[in-house]
Amino acid sequence: MSWIRDKELSLIERLCANVLKAGPVPKHVAFIMDGNRRYAKKCHVERQEGHSQGFEKLAETLRWCLNLGICEVTVYAFSIENFKRSKEEVDGLMELARQKFTRLLEEKEKLQKHEVCIRVIGDLSLLPLDIQKLIAQAVLETKDYSKCFLNVCFAYTSRHEISNAVREVAWGVQEGLIEPRDVTESLLDQCLYTSHSPDPDLLIRTSGEVRLSDFLLWQTSHSCLVFQSILWPEYTFWNLCEAILRYQYNYTAIQKSRELYSRDRARLQSETDQTWVQQNMFCVEHRNEEEKTKTFQRLLLQCQTDREHRTQNFLRALERKREFFLQSLCTN
């Protein structure tokens, strides 16, 4: 992962980067790195070489992002659907992952210097045990770094992620940590693999395909989506600049959409709480309307405070459960 080393852009690239940074630059960019196999076919090389070139392009793209001030990148490295490919190709991708995560751990001093937090997002149990251990080590050793973030979606699909979030919530109810009425969209959001990351500002897919392929479906509902025809191993700094320009062009509309959605979600939650208080807690006789209103507000605040206390306890327990899983991989 040579992207960690310091590397300057060319003069013209630096000038372009400075121009872009005069406007709003996305803080979190997601990539669907599509086109490795078509690139291999185009260049008359083995598929494995195409995937290897794709990893090299990722390293280069991450350096561009850091120079542009993009502090968080999420990449779709391996879909659960990819397990359906030929055994030879899947085995080759697993070997490539072994090499890259091993190299990553060898560069832990650079990771510490640049405060790079590595997160691997997906169902690790589907992977070979040795790769699970490498991933767990990389994640745990960098979990406290906070300058920049690389999220690698590996053995991942969005539907699997959402289903897992529902299972986590069901576990919380079963354990008595939360009540069924605590289950909200906001809580599910915090049970996703990506709970520690803001939603992507910009999602880029290469190769000309114009679909999300089950990638970050929940998180990109208010993101700028850019589909580019270039194959991933051929991606350039100028392609990235084009995508950022499209984001800047749509920035105002995106922000308005996010703000409206946030207000609507808060309003709906408030209305739900008020209804619950009226139906379940508000049954005391009052001498006048003023006393009635004060009691209602007090009970409403208590309802919201109690729910917040339960959900925070649940989320801490969930975090401990996930960290224990990673730690157990490192000790076994």
178/269 Cα distance (integer angstroms): 16
Place of tokens 């290469």: 206
Of 251, 248, 249, 241, the closest CA to residue 15 belongs to 241
- As a whole number, mean pLDDT of residues 251-270 equals 94
30/33 Cα distance (integer angstroms): 9
227/245 Cα distance (integer angstroms): 13
| Residue 268 pLDDT exceeds 70 | yes
CA dihedral 65, 248, 219, 59 (to 10 degrees): -10
| Residue 96 pLDDT exceeds 60 | yes
pLDDT of residue 6: 45
297/67 Cα distance (integer angstroms): 50
The CA angle 54-56-60, to the nearest 5 degrees, is: 115
Q: 3-class DSSP state for residue 86?
A: coil
Domain ranges of the chain: 2-263
The model's pLDDT over 108-136, given as tens digits with 9 standing for 90+, comes to: 888 888 899 999 999 999 999 999 999 99
pLDDT of residue 3: 47
DSSP string covering 247-265, please? HHHTHHHHHHHHHHHHHHH
The model's pLDDT over 41-69, given as tens digits with 9 standing for 90+, comes to: 999 999 999 999 999 999 999 999 999 99
At residue 285 the predicted structure's pLDDT band, cuts being 50, 70 and 90, is: low
pLDDT of residue 293: 82
| Residue 288 pLDDT exceeds 80 | no
Check: pTM over 0.85? Answer yes or no: yes
pLDDT of residue 245: 97
Of 28, 17, 20, the closest CA to residue 64 belongs to 17
CATH number of 2-263: 3.40.1180.10
Q: What percent of the chain has pLDDT over 90?
A: 81
- As a whole number, mean pLDDT of residues 279-300 equals 75
DSSP string covering 122-175, please? S-GGGS-HHHHHHHHHHHHHHTT--SEEEEEEEEE-HHHHHHHHHHHHHHHHHT
- As a whole number, mean pLDDT of residues 139-151 equals 94
pLDDT of residue 281: 65
Q: Which residue did the predictor score with more confidence, 159 or 14?
A: 159
At residue 304 the predicted structure's pLDDT band, cuts being 50, 70 and 90, is: very high
